[in-house]
Amino acid sequence: MTSIQPSAHLLEALRRHELDLPQEQVEQIEHYAQLLWKRNETLNLTRHTDYETFVARDVLDSVQLSRLLTMGERVLDIGSGGGVPGVLLSILRPDVQVALCECVKKKAEALAGMLAELELDVPVFADRSEDVVSAADFDTVVARAVGPMAKILTWMQDTWDRFDRMLLIKGPNWPNERGEARHRGLLKQLELRCVASYEMPGTESQSVILMIWPKGRDVQVPDIQDLKGGQE
């Protein structure tokens, strides 16, 4: 892959948020950001069009999520949009098998084009998430900024035999989303645990990663951790 010189602004933002990544990954992230912002001129792929918000929101979330994955894990990012967290996961964790699912055809085509230019071997499915999961086996389904918890659980409620667990990146409103999902009976047969909690930069709020899996299923539940790896 052609080496892309990282912008000083990207490097400063990474340092500001205490993200120390290998040089090759920083170059790939720079390349991805430039490709994403170029396509964003004609498609609504992201609102994070400067290095500070890109790192503080997209990279930070993806780094935290990447620490919850195991080597060789098969991961499906549903509602990928502009590729967060899926594209960044494939850069941060090349040992993990990542696939993207985006039902909007133009966005799926944009993702495939970016991945080709990044030389990343990541399949993109232009279909509904429940249909993709029904047709292939995954270990983990991940999602960020796709919709309320109840909506996602409704999509996936008949497919839990096709994957082991779900990891959702959520903001401070997640207890209300959990309450709605419980009210609608969507969590009756499921376990839910907060497995990561970290500060949303520039706010006094916390982002969390929620792990959801069927009751009775033997899965390893990580201890809740902050971004630096310490236990709360």
Report if residue 192 sits inside a domain: yes
Q: Does residue 185 belong to any structural domain of this protein? A: yes
SS3 content of the chain, % helix, strand, coil (to 5): 40, 20, 45
The one-character DSSP state at 129 is H
Residue 33 is assigned to a structural domain of this protein: yes
Q: What is the pLDDT of residue 2?
A: 56
- Backbone region of residue 127 per phi and psi (left: phi > 0; alpha: psi in -120 to 50; beta: other values): beta
Quick check: is 171 in a domain? yes
Domain presence at residue 229: no
Asked if residue 206 is part of any domain, the answer here is: yes
Whether residue 220 lies inside any domain: the answer is no
Find, among 75, 201, 202, the residue nearest to 144 by Cα. Answer: 75
Task: Give residue 113's pLDDT.
Answer: 97
Q: Taking a C-beta distance cutoff of 8 angstroms, is the pair 141, 133 a contact?
A: yes
pLDDT in tens, the chain (232 residues): 556 777 889 999 999 999 999 999 999 999 999 999 999 999 989 999 999 999 999 999 999 999 999 999 999 999 999 999 999 999 999 999 999 999 999 999 999 999 999 999 999 999 999 999 999 999 999 999 999 999 999 999 999 999 999 999 999 999 999 999 999 999 999 999 999 999 988 787 899 999 999 999 999 888 775 444 333 3
pLDDT attached to residue 108: 97
Please indicate, yes or no, if residue 141 is contained in any of the structural domains: yes
How many structural domains does the chain have? Answer: 1
Give the CATH number, domain containing residue 93: 3.40.50.150
Range of the domain at 173: 8-214
